Structure 1
């Protein structure tokens, strides 16, 4: 594993596309989706950063068998800069890990969440796409990180609570944070038809009560190869590239690459805002995240 200092950096890169992965309910495979989407993008030639923002129960590094020297907890404590947390994972995937078991990280203020978003203006790495793995639920950090992304992917599975909680998340994102478009990904489905039925169920209620557009991103099948990949601490895209779930993730990655990169700021909190404006950031990372 190379150190962050060996990762090449060139000044003033254009702003990457930022994709936030979220779910109303825990246990729907959101982190697995984040990891495999990021892996699929890397394998397609996209320079990709995977950011773990599950600030209290982070597990991206564990699921990929990595041992970070620094995490976001060290950034907030002033022990390192954001750039120092960057790990290089499989096939050059860049990863910013959060901390697990750090209760104070779950108690950050809204201003600190915004500060973390702004700190990415100084992370001057050549990135095409950043995938943000959020905590489950409606916490302020989840809402801020979703608002700061260009695309929000909400993961659902075939459980009544998953659909209900996904609707609750979409409602809050729409009404409180101005998110106007959400991508819906059905996970752990037995048959592709099941995924479309889940989307239709969610879309019917949102179209009645919310001013938000839902797009069906696709479905990931439940298969044994995905479980084996988790046990091996690898993405299924890398471990078993011909498996049904790996093929589905590659298709999701292909669709996401067709989304437009940001051309200009949208007027609210946003990742890589200084790159969108076209001027370098002025404030130090450490103070931005403090």
Structure 2
């Protein structure tokens, strides 16, 4: 009997991996517009590609929640503190799109007791079971979620400070989590030539100092309609579909499945997030950002 149960459990795990959604972690400089891109791409995937998508706001300032949620939403931190159901941190944005307040202090995740961790893992698995894509908006100071996602999207804007910050994040993700492949998305650029120039600069620095592979995936132009959409707490895809930003986002959303290099991380992602948080303390002193 034990053997039959073990085989059944093994088959269930295999089925979860085969039907696992793809997870993409977005990281970037403070002024790169990462949160805006997560909101825009998630909306385009749900609205135009008819995909089932969850947006995860892992920032302590909850920028994505403040922009997209229409009512008060708890965070994972509060869910853990007060032992609430995970649904308290989840809200639907449309038929195919949900938003999750996923920030929790690293210490809280690291010290999570087994029973609560097991319950939350089950609720997380139920939440994502029928989804196609998980998009994580990840803060620079807490990269564990990006370290365990299927793929990392690095958002770079044409700015020297942003280049420095992005390089530091790539270095940490490579050094602490073994990430070696990074998709690079240029944002807020004026021309394709400018986007290519800044990608070349990042590639040159990373190629000289790190053993990583950077892949160009596209760019989003500087556009006042994107700023207007942010102020109005909407997206260009929804409200300004004829804008340059919306056109670029639509093209990127159609190609996003091709960015994936691996899959299968989602079924036990919550448990691995807790484990990764326990294993990684403060960043080592040798991870000083490169200053171009």
Give the TM-score of the pair, scaled to structure 2: 0.77
Q: Distance in 1 between matches of 2:67 and 2:263?
A: 34
Aligned position for 2:266 = 271
Give matches, 1:111-150, under 5 Å.
111=110, 120-135=124-139, 137=140, 139=141, 141-142=142-143, 144-150=144-150
Deviation string 1:33-74 (CA, Å, 9 cap, x unpaired) is 1111111111211100001001x2112122125213433232
Give the TM-score of the pair, scaled to structure 1: 0.78
DSSP 3-state at the match of 2:183: strand
Aligned position for 2:196 = 196
DSSP 3-state at the match of 2:220: strand
Aligned position for 2:21 = 16
Aligned position for 1:53 = 58
Could you list the runs of 4 or more consecutive aligned residues of structure 1 that deviate by over 6 angstroms after TM superposition? none
Q: In the alignment, is the contact (CA less than 8 A) between 2:27 and 2:138 conserved in 1?
A: yes
DSSP 3-state at the match of 1:238: helix
Structure 1 position 41 matched with structure 2 position 36: no
- Aligned residue pairs: how many? 252
CA 1:69–1:147 in structure 2 vs 1: closer, same or farther (change >3 Å)? closer
Q: Distance in 1 between matches of 2:156 and 2:263?
A: 30
Give the C-alpha shift of residue 111 in structure 1: 2.1
Q: In the alignment, is the contact (CA less than 8 A) between 2:69 and 2:93 conserved in 1?
A: no
Aligned position for 1:4 = none
Q: In the alignment, is the contact (CA less than 8 A) between 1:16 and 1:262 conserved in 2?
A: no
Q: Distance in 2 between matches of 1:176 and 1:26?
A: 21
Q: Distance in 1 between matches of 2:147 and 2:69?
A: 30
Larger Rg, first or second structure (1 or 2): 2
Q: Distance in 1 between matches of 2:91 and 2:213?
A: 35
Aligned position for 1:160 = 160
Gaps of 5+ in 1: 1-11, 100-104, 265-269, 275-280, 284-288
Q: In the alignment, is the contact (CA less than 8 A) between 1:16 and 1:261 conserved in 2?
A: no
Q: Distance in 1 between matches of 2:91 and 2:84?
A: 14
DSSP 3-state at the match of 1:108: helix
Deviation string 1:198-240 (CA, Å, 9 cap, x unpaired) is 1111001111221111011111111111111112210111111
Of Structure 1 and Structure 2, the greater helix share is in 2
Structure 1 position 26 matched with structure 2 position 21: no
Deviation string 1:167-204 (CA, Å, 9 cap, x unpaired) is 11111111221001101111111112111111111001
Gaps of 5+ in 2: 1-14, 272-276, 278-292
CA 1:83–1:225 in structure 2 vs 1: closer, same or farther (change >3 Å)? same
DSSP 3-state at the match of 2:42: helix
Q: Distance in 1 between matches of 2:125 and 2:111?
A: 15
